[in-house]
Structure 1
Amino acid sequence: MKIEQIYTGCLAQGAYYIESNGEVAIIDPLRETQQYVDKANKENAKIKYIFETHFHADFVSGHVDLAKKTGATIIFGPGATTEYDIHEAEDNETFRLGNVTIKVLHTPGHTLESTTFLLIDENGKNHAIFSGDTLFLGDVGRPDLAIKSDLTKEDLAGMLYESLRNKIMPLEDDVIVYPAHGAGSACGKNLSKETVGVLGEQKQTNYALREDMTKEEFVEEVLDGIPPPPQYFAKNAMMNKSGYDNFETVLQKGDVALSAEDFEITANQEDALVLDVRNEKDFVNGHIPNSIFIGIHGGFAPWVGALITDLKQPILLVTPQGKEKETVTRLSRVGYDNTLGYLDGGIEAWKKSGRDIETIESITAEEFSKHYKSSNINTLDVRKEGEYKAEHLDGDNVQHFALDFINDNMNAIDNHKTYYMHCAGGYRSVIAASILKARGFDKLIDIAGGFDAIKKTDLPTTNFICPSRL
């Protein structure tokens, strides 16, 4: 028996390759599926099953394409209905894979069809669970993502409580836990940076598995502090439910080199969004007018999903050299399949063509400190709410303006005012500045290094203290 976790940091997502005696199962595959086919071929094995723990909301899974390539059966848990062929498994149903067995444990709560897959080894011993978003290391899945359900998040949280206690917690302490996500995923609140653990440790350390916890306490704790889901979650879940375009076709359409002239013509004719994925420092120093920055080196796909509201939006790319195909691939992972090409030769080709370039003013934290002390300046803190509450600049003109909700909160700022902007380290503030600049806000100054750099100056900071925890 062979188990391999194939982890993708940008999505904080784990897919799984399980092989026994020449037969393979893939659990929660990524959109680009050739890697699984190649791996099986290298081992002279055949992909027999594709198990989906639920309809994923944070990425588009590769199950449909992989089934077409290999003839493997797609297996969902009870209650899953799709517009393509699947095997809807029954609770406790088993599937033979070589010398091992995979057992279906229906664990609704994160979503109604959420299922944990229990791997039973050659000797009949419970070996591992592939828990999807039912159980993470350090947390459990958020219970507010059910598609078109009349159930409330409180109802789903109650289901999750029962699933954990009736299906997961009775299993042996040495059972390995392979979750669908780790730290950085928006599918939970406090996920561990570890991506593999054992159930006994989770019973001891995971707040949601406390033995003395009542259902009411569980519901309250699991729902406490959950932010609204990113706007693309429901759209990705529907793509996973209804199907999608072939990945190779999407890649072929997007991996097209365009001259500066053709790039500009296409942008105008197709009303395309110009997405610049270079480093934030490069973007600040020179970019195509009205282009949006989301750097590929950061949390690229989740930020694209949170900020670009139309999955069908035509997109043109400005990328570092050699990152063109990777960028198209990573966009497709979250359902953005309408990439039309990239600027051949990058920003230097645009400059050589004589076309306009714009910049964003950027200053150091030390320079900002001098401005802050000498005048009544306006500052935008674009970090998440939890970061802002933990510690932020102390001042009457410091405004929390979370990047997550920038599209909904444009009217909260004045385009006649000058704003100094920061995040934690400099990545998100440039994203925010690029979006505001494209919307007509032209008095923006980015603080390089963000709040991490600001804290090294002598500027005063403050925080929100929860009285109940004093």
Structure 2
Amino acid sequence: MQIKQFEYKPLSHYSYTIISEGKMAVIDPERNPQQYYEHAEKNNAKIVAVIETHPHADFVSSHLEIQKKTGATIYNSEKLGADYKHQFFDNENEISLGETTLKAINTPGHSPDSITVVATKGKETVLFTGDTLFIGDVGRPDLREKAGNMKSKREELAEMMYKTVTTKFSHLPDNSIVYPAHGAGSLCGKSMSDANKSTLGDERKNNWAFQKQSKEEFIDTLLDGQPFIPSYFGFNVDINKIGADNLKPSIAKIPFFANTTAKGLIVDVRDEKAFKKGHLKGSFNIQAVSEDSKFETWLGSVIEPKENFTIVVESKKDKDVILQRVAKIGYESLLKQIITISDENLETSPKLDVQDFKSNPNNYTIVDIRNKSEVEKASFFKDALSHPLNDLRNTVEKIPTDKPIIVHCAGGYRSATGSSILQSKLKNIIVYDLSDAVEDFK
């Protein structure tokens, strides 16, 4: 049994392949399937199965595209209610992959249709736990109240998760390897470890969810302090239930125009320094200059899945990478065009005199755009107003405008987006980005 883990860092997503005697299964694949094809070819293996542990909320899966290209069978829970051709994979169902046996355990809690895949060969046992069991945590239970074929209240799912943790893994040995679908940084849980795998024995010892506690204590802990839910999560659940269109033709339809302008909703993905030097009026600066930046998360949090938008890039060579990233969350269907801009008729962003701010903080209105849970743990400024970035477009009118405004986050990435939103929405008001100078105030 040959297992390979694939990581997509911006979404903290892990997908997997299993190869046994020339046959390969793909588990929870990301939007671009090319890496799985290349891995199969390199190992002289045939892709015969694609397994979805649940309909993912934070990324678009390529399960349907892989099926179309390879003829592989898609497996998922009957409870998912998938609209594409598939086979049910629930309790006691098995898949033979060479000399490896794959079994399904229904493990509801993150979603009502979640499964865990148990792979065995000889004495070796491996668990692909999807968003049910993470390293150090379990999946959040509050994403399916408004999305998906089967809707469940968070309290009901939290109770399901308690039953899953206390009963569904008890027959499995401590040395079972645990491979989750996400790691630290994902919004599908709240306290995940940086580790990319574990053993069931270690999770029984160290994961809070396995410790002795009442059902009520478990549910209270699970529901408390969960992060915000990005706007695009329900949108992705629905796409994954239907099955996404093939990637390449989907992004090939997006036109590119050089040295032009645009109206409507504009997302400028350039570095914040280039954006502040000159940008189209009304643009939002959601940076995508780093391979590890959380661009997809913030694009899908700031822009609603019903909104069409234009993207501004630095140069044409950035187009293909940005299209791939936009498609990770299915937003290529909302993207009207990608453009570069000329140097004419651009707006600039004012530069903050940090020393003046340090000396005269009361002369400014300070807006803290960190998540609610971050603010509850620590505040950098006593009088800062909390307006989390994911909801800032809706709360901007509540921000006082009698003083210049300073926007801050925890490190500088999000404040570039937040300050650009306020600059767009608040006319004739000076808006500053504290950026990475926030480090001086920690």
* CA 449–316 in structure 1, closer or farther in 2 if over 3 Å, else same: closer
Q: What is the distance in 2 between the residues matched to 1:305 and 1:257?
A: 21
AA partner of residue 155 (structure 1): E
Residue 234 (structure 2) pairs with residue 277 (structure 1): no
Deviates most, 237-246 or 142-151: 142-151
Consecutive unaligned residues in structure 1, runs of 5 or more: 456-470
Distance 1:299 1:377, change over 3 A: same
Residue equivalent to 1:449 = 436
- Return the offset for 1:274: 2.4
1:288 corresponds in structure 2 to: 280
3-state secondary structure, aligned to 1:5? strand
Matched position secondary structure for 1:322: helix
Matching residue's letter, 1:178: Y
The 3 A distance-change label for structure 1 pair 117 and 319 is farther
Q: 1:315 aligns with which of 310, 313, 317?
A: 310
Match for residue 41 of structure 1?
41
Contact kept, 8 Å, 1:379 with 1:419, in 2: the verdict is yes
Contact 1:403 1:428 in 2 (8 A): yes
The corresponding residue for 1:463 is none
1:95-244 map, 5 Å: 95-121=95-121, 123=122, 125-146=123-144, 147=148, 149=150, 151-210=152-211, 212-244=212-244
Q: Structure 1's 279 and 453: CA in aligned 2 closer, same or farther, altered over 3 A?
A: farther
Q: What does the per-residue CA deviation read over 1:346-377, in whole Å, with 9 as the maximum and x for residues that have no partner?
A: 45xx11xxx212221233644421232xx432
The amino acid of 1:259's aligned partner reads A
Partner of 2:387: 401
Residue 79 (structure 1) shift: 1.0
Aligned to 1:426: 412
Contact 1:312–1:336 (CA<8 Å) still a contact in 2?
no
1:422–1:364: structure 2 CA closer, same or farther, 3 Å change rule? Answer: farther
Pick one of 313, 325, 328 that aligns with 1:333.
328
SS in structure 1 of the partner of residue 79 of structure 2: coil
Q: Give the deviation of 1:440 after TM superposition.
A: 3.4
Aligned to 2:359: 370
TM-score (norm 2): 0.93
> Which residue does 2:82 correspond to in 1?
82
Q: What's the % identity of the aligned pairs?
A: 35
Q: Relative to structure 2, which stretch is displaced further, 91-100 or 241-250?
A: 241-250
Structure 1, residues 4-34: CA drift from partner, whole Å, max 9, x if none? 1100110000010111111110000011112
Superimposed CA distance per residue, residues 390-446 of structure 1 (whole angstroms, 9 cap, x where no aligned partner) = 2223444x2112112112212211345420111112111110111122223441011
Contact 2:109 2:157 in 1 (8 A): yes
The DSSP-based 3-state class of the residue aligned with 1:363 is coil
Gaps of 5+ in 2: none
Q: How many residues align?
A: 434
SS in 2 for 1:204: helix
Summarize deviations over 1:84-116 as a string: whole Å, max 9, x none. 111112312110111211111111111111000
Distance across 1 between alignment mates of 2:25 and 2:313: 37
Q: Distance in 1 between matches of 2:119 and 2:241?
A: 25
Q: Mean alpha-carbon deviation: is it higher for 385-394 or for 239-248?
A: 385-394
Of 6-15 and 385-394, more deviation after overlay is shown by 385-394
- Amino acid aligned to 1:329: Q
